[in-house]
Amino acid sequence: MWLLAAVAGALCVATGALPWQDAVATTERVGPILGFLAAVTVLAELADAAQVFDAAAVAAARLARGRTRVLFALVVVLAAVTTIVLSLDTTAVLFTPVVLALAEQVGLPPTPFAMTTVWLANTASLLLPVSNLTNLLAVDRLHLSAIAFAARMWLPAAVAIAVTTIVIGYTYRSALHGRFTEPTAIAIADRLLFHIATAACLGVIPFFLLGFPVWAVATGGAAVLTGAFAVRRRKVLRFSLLPWQLVLLVEGLFLVIATLGTHGLDAVLARLAGTAADALGVLRTSVIGALASNLVNNLPSYLALERVADQHTDRLLGLLLGTNLGPLITLWGSLATLLWRERCRARGVRISAAEFARVGVRGVPVMLAATWAALVLAR
């Protein structure tokens, strides 16, 4: 898929279907996203190699004291908080290895915990601008402060987390029943490297919260940890740490969507989304955003629909419901899901497209309806 997207994007520019200046403008806007993607992936890979996630998994399992449902609730809280304050992509990259290591440590099936993580990485991303890159784009367009944005989105965000907990908890209720044996402490191979990696992961948090560019913060953390590994375990450093395939996929998708936008896509989306800014108009925009995100990807879908939302606050916020919460039916629906899938593969966990879609088809319509109602009530 990455090769197809990359070639298609390159052809759009090479043939002149997308004017050069538009291609440059698109790349400039997506550049910080790609920088963050590359840096946070390297940070996660090296932290995993330093056993940070294994140690965190043991600590979480001990806190639950052998109760599977308590462990599930703990994962829900931690995944939601991580998404809200550190962004959904950070949850997908940094928290996914924790829950997979956790399931392995206590002998529980990994799928319920993996699905909890990817759902909350998307659905808990409504509250703050930093929680999702689409939020940052919307805030920039609407000129909203972080406080004003949170004031409008707190109720939909709370509803989204609640619905996620119910959907995942009910779907995997049999696997989340009973008790587990608490794991023993793990042996840390290199304690100095472990402490440096832990500090690098935790150290990015205040800089994210203070509003520093997410790509710069993640790059700083990745650079510190790369330097430590260069001294202590140089063999771990390899080119494959960089998610270059995902970078090409995202860049290609953005170029293709930008090209289609100049050749009629914007007009089609405008007709589909309509022009009404009342409650039903907001719902319509949300649904179209969810459908487009599952067909293509939420980031280019947001940019395409943003151009036809007329800068109306309620419509753009409704669009965020669709692009943040909606892409949970297809595995390519959001960048966070793609990152999550890579982390699952790295841990040997395979979740099929059919399994992913089965849960999404059941839960996404309920999620959109409930959060739309909450958004209308929070006006």
User: pLDDT tens digit string along 29-56?
Assistant: 788 878 887 888 888 889 888 988 888 8
Per-residue pLDDT, averaged over 266-271, amounts to: 75
Contact 112, 75 (CB under 8 A): no
pLDDT at 143: 80
- Above pLDDT 70, what percent of the chain? 98
pLDDT at 276: 63
Neighbours of 62 (CB within 10 A): 15
Per-residue pLDDT, averaged over 77-82, amounts to: 88
pLDDT at 231: 93
Per-residue pLDDT, averaged over 11-19, amounts to: 90
Is residue 60 very low, low, confident or very high in pLDDT (cuts 50, 70, 90)? confident
pLDDT at 366: 96
Structure tokens belonging to residue 182: 């608490």
**DSSP-assigned letters across all residues of 7-62:** HHHHHHHHTTSS-HHHHHHHHHHHHHHHHHHHHHHHHHHHHHHTTHHHHHHHHHHH
pLDDT at 40: 82
pLDDT at 369: 96
pLDDT at 339: 86
Average model confidence (pLDDT) across the chain: 88
pLDDT at 89 over 90: no
pTM of the model: 0.82
pLDDT at 320: 96
Listed in sequence order, the DSSP H helices in the chain are 2-14, 20-49, 52-64, 68-86, 88-90, 96-106, 110-123, 133-142, 146-171, 191-209, 214-232, 244-260, 266-273, 279-295, 298-306, 313-320, 335-346, 353-377
pLDDT at 36: 82
* Residue type, position 66, single letter: G
pLDDT at 274: 67
pLDDT single digits (tens) 113-149: 999 999 999 999 999 887 888 888 888 788 877 788 8
pLDDT single digits (tens) 182-231: 877 788 889 999 999 999 988 887 887 777 887 898 899 999 999 999 99
Per-residue pLDDT, averaged over 10-21, amounts to: 90
Determine the angle formed by the axes of helices 146-171 and 68-86, rounding to 10 degrees.
150
Residues 6+ apart with CB under 8 A from 361: 329
pLDDT at 70: 92
pLDDT at 310 over 70: no
Residue scoring higher pLDDT (3 or 191): 191
pLDDT at 311: 66
Nearest of 9, 3, 1 to residue 253 by alpha carbon: 9
**DSSP-assigned letters across all residues of 122-168:** HHTTTSSGGG-HHHHHHHHHHT--HHHHHHHHHHHHHHHHHHHHHHH
